Structure 1
Amino acid sequence: MQLIEHISEIPHPFKNAVVTIGNFDGVHKGHTALFRQVRDRAETLQGTAVAITFDPHPLIVVRPERRPPLITLREQKIELFAASDLLDILMVLPFDKEFASIPAENFIRDFLIKTIGMKAIVVGPDYAFGRNREGNIHLLKKMGRELNFEVIVPGWITPDNMEDRISSTRIRQVVASGDVEAAVPMLGRYYQVRGEVEAGRQRGGRLLGFPTANIRLQDELCPASGVYAVTVETPGGRHTGVANIGYSPTFDDNIFTVEVHILDFSEDLYGKQIRINFIERLRGEKKFSGIEELSEQIRKDIIRAKEIFYEKQLV
């Protein structure tokens, strides 16, 4: 997959480009279903499978008060596009107020047709674009007849045993509530956060007997406070662990932290980037009577986490 980050990097139109456009926050299973249709149509036309997305998220520019916490930031988003193995070209284009002011018809004629060489576009039923979101499926189909490009609008994707369609909004809701398991059938993977390990309050190993890696969180969407069974990707490989998110009420210092105890692990991770995959929520955050009671609960959390790892074949 070729990554293009500015229109100036497009030397000429692509051969029979089949395009999908969107924010694609989360790069979830609904999005990958669109990519698959793009790939299938591109193969039929012996053309090029192209996805176009934007950075920053358009709402950050046009309606910052309504911007959602992002499920995937730029780095992970690009990784997930590449991992789908369905696209030839990914465009991550800078979005600003000037770009937002482009009329929808101009965007179609000047960019999608003249610059990209679009022969077909695949978009969801609620897709809208251009200045004031004036571009919609009706306009696309009208201009498709005029300019000879195909408009493909697949139906919504619904995971097995779920009534709700897959959406970035729904994923944000379940993750923010702590129901990380509910996100898995929509994402097609475990929800992940990333960050750099930094010095913490030095009490995990010293006071509790369970050393922890404290994370300077990069991601915007954080699961609800509580304790989670997780897997942890470090520079040295993948490990299992138990993560705590919240304010450590037993210690009354009211400082929000994300920290993880990695099982059977003793390497120094300070200053290194790690990734935490949330497997299942074990319990909510609770204030204990003291260090002894908290340590006993952590032991129980680890036992339960190991059972989950075994059940899900993660060990």
Structure 2
Amino acid sequence: MIIARDIKDIRDAITGSCVTIGNFDGVHKGHQKLIQLACSRARRCDLTSVVVTFDPHPLRVLRPDTALPFITLTEQKLELLSQYGPQACLLLNFDMDMARLSPADFVKRYLVDGLKMREMIIGYDYHLGKGRAGNFETLTALGREHGFTVDRLDPVSIDGAVVSSTRIRDLVQAGSVWQACPLLGRFYQVKGEVVHGMNRGGRLLGFPTANLKLVDELFPKPGVYAIWVETGDEVFMGVANIGKNPTFENDALSVEAHLLDFEGDLYGRDIRVHFVQRIRDERKFGSLDELKDRIRKDSELGRQILAQPEAAIRLTQPDFEAP
């Protein structure tokens, strides 16, 4: 997937495109179907499939005081988008100048003149332009003027409810990572560099942990989780504690992962933690021996959970579904 941050970097390489546009926070099952439909339509019509998205997220500009944590930061979002087959991604810098563009101006400047758009695929609730005035009807009228068609994807529902970034965010923050998995098509994950922590896991407790330098915005509810840990080309079972380690009276949020059946040094390396299932709440223990005994039990529970077929990690490129 070619990534362009300026329309000038991609304009001359495209003779006609099928475009899907959105914020794609989480790149969830609804987003995946949208991208797959755009790619399928592009192949059928001999067009270039293009995903258009924004950095920063428009809410960061329009409502900077919002505390809403995003499911995927830009780097991970681009990585996930590429897995679903688009040939190009136009990552536009969203600022107040762009926010003031009318739907007609945005479509003409970026999509028609820039990407030579012939087909447009949008989500059922997508709006663009100043005041969110660019709805399906408005875009369809612009299509008649500029020579492109607009198709709208129906909502994608799982377990009787529409898949949405808001629903996924609520599940993750509630610790319901297992329930979030079908909506994402993967386990919820965070990525970070392993840094030196308080050096208590191996030295005091006999359970060495990888302490993540926190970069992501959205974290599951504090507690202990069964996890997969991806490091380089290897994947390990593990358990992670998210929280403030009340036994040691910490103040800062931390993510500490204990890798099962692993020996080695991870300091300075990036690892990816896939949260599979919540095991228990974080709690304060009366002694180190009590804590060590609980960690042993957590590790065994984690191993049992991860041994189940439905807990298998999804690392391969996803299969494409025929639209």
Q: TM-score normalised to the size of structure 1?
A: 0.95
Q: Which moved more, 1:43-52 or 1:250-259?
A: 250-259
Aligned partner of 2:215 among 208, 213, 218: 218
Q: 1:91-121 CA deviation, whole Å, 9 max, x = no partner? A: 1111111121111111112221111111111
Q: TM-score normalised to the size of structure 2?
A: 0.93
Aligned pairs (5 A) from 1:203-214 = 203-214=200-211
Q: Which residue of 2 aligns with 1:180?
A: 177
C-alpha displacement at 1:79, in angstroms? Answer: 1.0
* Residue 47 of structure 1 pairs with residue 47 of structure 2: yes
Q: Which residue of 1 aligns with 2:133?
A: 134
Find the residue that maps to 1:275 and give its secondary structure.
strand
C-alpha displacement at 1:12, in angstroms? Answer: 2.5
User: Given that residues 140 and 151 in structure 1 are in contact (C-alpha distance below 8 angstroms), is that contact kept between their aligned partners in structure 2?
Assistant: yes
Find the residue that maps to 1:205 and give its secondary structure.
helix
Q: Which residue of 1 aligns with 2:30?
A: 30
Hey, what's the Cα distance between the residues in 2 that align with 1:68 and 1:48? 34
User: Given that residues 28 and 184 in structure 2 are in contact (C-alpha distance below 8 angstroms), is that contact kept between their aligned partners in structure 1?
Assistant: yes
Aligned pairs (5 A) from 1:74-223 = 74-84=74-84, 86-159=85-158, 162-223=159-220
User: Given that residues 13 and 114 in structure 1 are in contact (C-alpha distance below 8 angstroms), is that contact kept between their aligned partners in structure 2?
Assistant: no
Q: 1:111-163 CA deviation, whole Å, 9 max, x = no partner? A: 2111111111100121111122221112101112222211100100112xx11
User: Given that residues 18 and 38 in structure 1 are in contact (C-alpha distance below 8 angstroms), is that contact kept between their aligned partners in structure 2?
Assistant: yes
Find the residue that maps to 2:307 and give its secondary structure.
helix
Find the residue that maps to 2:154 and give its secondary structure.
coil
Q: 1:244-289 CA deviation, whole Å, 9 max, x = no partner? A: 0001111223332110111121211112111100011111111111
Runs of 5+ consecutive residues of structure 1 not aligned to the other structure: none
* Residue 8 of structure 1 pairs with residue 8 of structure 2: yes
Hey, what's the Cα distance between the residues in 2 that align with 1:141 and 1:54? 22
Hey, what's the Cα distance between the residues in 1 that align with 2:260 and 2:295? 12
Find the residue that maps to 1:120 and give its secondary structure.
strand
Find the residue that maps to 1:72 and give its secondary structure.
coil
Q: Which residue of 2 aligns with 1:302?
A: 299
Q: Which moved more, 1:125-134 or 1:297-306?
A: 125-134
Hey, what's the Cα distance between the residues in 1 that align with 2:129 and 2:297? 54
User: Given that residues 11 and 115 in structure 2 are in contact (C-alpha distance below 8 angstroms), is that contact kept between their aligned partners in structure 1?
Assistant: no
User: Given that residues 16 and 45 in structure 1 are in contact (C-alpha distance below 8 angstroms), is that contact kept between their aligned partners in structure 2?
Assistant: no
Q: Which residue of 2 aligns with 1:19?
A: 19
Hey, what's the Cα distance between the residues in 2 that align with 1:277 and 1:213? 14
User: Given that residues 60 and 67 in structure 1 are in contact (C-alpha distance below 8 angstroms), is that contact kept between their aligned partners in structure 2?
Assistant: no
Hey, what's the Cα distance between the residues in 1 that align with 2:211 and 2:67? 27
C-alpha displacement at 1:231, in angstroms? Answer: 0.7
C-alpha displacement at 1:182, in angstroms? Answer: 1.0
C-alpha displacement at 1:66, in angstroms? Answer: 3.0
Hey, what's the Cα distance between the residues in 1 that align with 2:233 and 2:116? 44
User: Given that residues 180 and 223 in structure 1 are in contact (C-alpha distance below 8 angstroms), is that contact kept between their aligned partners in structure 2?
Assistant: yes
* Residue 283 of structure 1 pairs with residue 280 of structure 2: yes
User: Given that residues 59 and 67 in structure 1 are in contact (C-alpha distance below 8 angstroms), is that contact kept between their aligned partners in structure 2?
Assistant: no
Hey, what's the Cα distance between the residues in 2 that align with 1:255 and 1:13? 48
Give the number of equivalent residue pairs.
Answer: 312
* Residue 232 of structure 1 pairs with residue 211 of structure 2: no
Instruction: Please tell me the residue identity of whatever aligns with 1:63.
Output: R
Hey, what's the Cα distance between the residues in 1 that align with 2:268 and 2:202? 18
C-alpha displacement at 1:67, in angstroms? Answer: 5.5
Hey, what's the Cα distance between the residues in 1 that align with 2:75 and 2:93? 15
Find the residue that maps to 1:274 and give its secondary structure.
strand
User: Given that residues 193 and 212 in structure 2 are in contact (C-alpha distance below 8 angstroms), is that contact kept between their aligned partners in structure 1?
Assistant: yes
User: Given that residues 228 and 280 in structure 1 are in contact (C-alpha distance below 8 angstroms), is that contact kept between their aligned partners in structure 2?
Assistant: yes
Runs of 5+ consecutive residues of structure 2 not aligned to the other structure: 314-323
C-alpha displacement at 1:10, in angstroms? Answer: 2.2
Hey, what's the Cα distance between the residues in 2 that align with 1:20 and 1:168? 17
Q: Which residue of 2 aligns with 1:69?
A: 69
Task: Determine what percentage of the aligned residue pairs are the same residue.
Answer: 45
Find the residue that maps to 1:12 and give its secondary structure.
helix
C-alpha displacement at 1:203, in angstroms? Answer: 1.1
Hey, what's the Cα distance between the residues in 1 that align with 2:55 and 2:243? 30
